[in-house]
Homo-oligomer: A and B are copies of this chain.
């Protein structure tokens, strides 16, 4: 593969001049510039990004570590992150943690070893020592969706409290009084937060959230199934199950069907995170939708700000309720899908 020396030789100039032309440096004669460009064209020369990165100490690459690529919410997030990053001239390397702290650490370490310019993280857990160290070491970092309290890094996320309140109002309006939630891992911020938002909204309607109505999940479908089975075995099972993410909602749907029950007639179902498939499930599922594209854009911009020496800002965007049929027939005046 042709190197910068070959180009210099071909154009009859020094490597310094070639480099200057390629980087748009002003002091190069028109003459030299055209000769170099011609040589580049002739040889099909492409600069070696590895060598360039070594010298300049920047890779124009962002790392994105997410907790689970198979979760459509994160897939979508990743897609938009890459899109915005590309627009700003960065590449993205994705690391999938599969909700495993050890895998998360593996990816963080590899990314740091590759000297990525900045790190976007949606932590799978309460924060391993590694993540703290990285943040402390001055590597530009931004949390997206989930974050770790006590680590001083900008956070870009959606606030679900308003939407959850709307959801509870909707459920209450349909006559439901016994509402249960399948929570995420307590170690994740989104885990807690969604439970607390739910509890708060229930309180507004004079309802309590008994411990038996809080299922412990881990954001995976299987845990949603288990938690729902637990609910269904209760002497007084809930009338509604609210899953804190879309995969657990799917598990819940499984468990409900396995019992021969019907949604929403026998039990209602709602989920956090809206995904395209929820339109097509039987029945379509009512969900709290996050502004994924905006979150991704804001996160990338915050990170780029941090990298390029500007001051990054934490951003919180509101989520919104999308009513479908899984909690009972929507009243005609309620907001519906889209």
Given A75-B75, A276-B250, A281-B281, the answer on whether A50 and B46 have CB atoms closer than 8 Å is: no
Q: A116 → chain B, closest Cβ, in Å?
A: 10
Cα distance A75–B75 when bound, in Å? 8
B79 touches A96 (CB 8 A): yes
Cα distance A137–B250 when bound, in Å? 47
Cα distance A262–B70 when bound, in Å? 30
Residues of B within 8 A of A35 (CB): none
Residues of B within 8 A of A294 (CB): none
B282 touches A283 (CB 8 A): yes
A49 touches B96 (CB 8 A): no
Whose C-beta in chain B lies nearest to the C-beta of A277? Answer: B277
Whose C-beta in chain B lies nearest to the C-beta of A279? Answer: B254
With beta carbons under 8 angstroms apart, the residue of B49, B75, B282 that contacts A114 is: B49
Of the candidate stretches A105-113, A187-195, A225-233, A328-336, the one touching chain B is: A105-113
Query: Would you list which residues of chain A between 80 and 132 have a CB under 8 Å from chain B?
Result: 82, 86, 91, 93-94, 96, 106, 109-110, 112-115
Cα distance A214–B69 when bound, in Å? 34
Q: A53 → chain B, closest Cβ, in Å?
A: 5
Copies of the protein in its oligomer: 2
Cα distance A59–B91 when bound, in Å? 16
Q: Does A264 contact B (CB under 8 A)?
A: no
Q: Does A298 contact B (CB under 8 A)?
A: no
Q: A136 → chain B, closest Cβ, in Å?
A: 12
B281 touches A46 (CB 8 A): no
Residues of B within 8 A of A47 (CB): 113
A280 touches B283 (CB 8 A): no
Residues of B within 8 A of A113 (CB): 46-49
Whose C-beta in chain B lies nearest to the C-beta of A139? Answer: B1
B109 touches A91 (CB 8 A): no
Q: Does A42 contact B (CB under 8 A)?
A: no
Cα distance A93–B63 when bound, in Å? 10
Query: Would you list which residues of chain A between 34 and 55 have a CB under 8 Å from chain B?
Result: 46-51, 53-54
B49 touches A51 (CB 8 A): no
Q: Does A237 contact B (CB under 8 A)?
A: no
Q: Does A166 contact B (CB under 8 A)?
A: no
A93 touches B96 (CB 8 A): no
Q: Does A76 contact B (CB under 8 A)?
A: yes
Given A69-B79, A79-B69, A79-B70, the answer on whether A46 and B280 have CB atoms closer than 8 Å is: no
With beta carbons under 8 angstroms apart, the residue of B46, B114, B253 that contacts A109 is: B46
Q: With A282-B282, A282-B283 given, name 10 new contacts (CB 8 A).
A: A48-B54, A48-B115, A50-B53, A50-B114, A50-B115, A70-B76, A82-B96, A91-B93, A250-B277, A277-B280
Q: Can you identify 23 A-B contacts, CB atoms within 8 angstroms? A: A1-B137, A46-B112, A48-B113, A50-B50, A50-B54, A69-B78, A70-B75, A70-B76, A72-B72, A79-B96, A82-B96, A86-B106, A91-B93, A91-B110, A91-B114, A250-B277, A254-B279, A254-B280, A277-B277, A277-B280, A277-B281, A281-B281, A282-B283
